[in-house]
Chains A and B, each alone.
Chain A
């Protein structure tokens, strides 16, 4: 079963913040976040492992609530370059090792 991402789309003005959520019905070992710009390949952002570890770089960070099997991606002070589609990929505890199941994606558009 695919994880559920919300919202499906969001429009921001430069400098605004956004949160993208990813929920799974399965017990998770890890959550991966990727961003895909239009016409390009998805690019890795970060991995969060079981343990509730929060990660981040620059103004993009993420958290993983293993009890709720949810992860959230936080984009603060958004820039035009943040536009794209964000995917979470989940690695289930009972199938850990190599295989990710991706969500449907969240389309983010940042306007000047």
Chain B
């Protein structure tokens, strides 16, 4: 079974703090993604990575950065957390789209509250 794990299920941080969200997958997937999920807005892509040290901006990268030093690990960084970054954050991984099966496998999510 593919497993995508996220470092925390719930996190409470103060405005201005630096926040690290960690994601680890155990299926040797090339692609990894960070989404935020807000009611009525669905899943919005923040950043994704298709290889170690490679990253691409998604639809809403402002206020976020990412790091992928190892294939299995993809980190989302909020340099200075703000209240409008309160959300559910979901990590996902997949094989490359050149393969037959490139569905995304999601982690359980981290609910971040910034006060």
Interface residues of A (CB under 8 A from B): 2, 5, 8, 32, 34, 40-44, 47, 87, 89, 91, 96-105
Enumerate B51-99 residues with CB–CB distance to A below 8 Å.
56, 58-59, 90, 94, 96-97
Contact of B104 among A40, A44, A101 (CB under 8 A): A44
Complex: A110 Cα to B41 Cα, angstroms = 22
CB distance from A26 to the nearest CB of B (A): 13
In the bound complex, residues from chain B placing their C-beta under 8 Å from that of A2 are 41-42, 44
Q: Known A44-B104, A47-B103, A98-B96; judge A87-B50 contact (CB<8 A).
A: no
Q: Known A96-B97, A97-B97, A98-B50; judge A42-B43 contact (CB<8 A).
A: yes
In the bound complex, residues from chain A placing their C-beta under 8 Å from that of B41 are 2, 104
Complex: A40 Cα to B52 Cα, angstroms = 28
Complex: A47 Cα to B104 Cα, angstroms = 11
* Closest chain A residue, CB of each to CB of B4: A41
CB distance from B70 to the nearest CB of A (A): 19
Complex: A5 Cα to B41 Cα, angstroms = 11
Closest 9 CB pairs of A and B: A44-B103, A41-B106, A102-B43, A104-B42, A102-B42, A105-B42, A42-B106, A97-B97, A41-B108
Q: Known A99-B45, A101-B59; judge A40-B108 contact (CB<8 A).
A: yes
CB distance from A39 to the nearest CB of B (A): 9
Complex: A66 Cα to B106 Cα, angstroms = 27
In the bound complex, residues from chain B placing their C-beta under 8 Å from that of A43 are 106
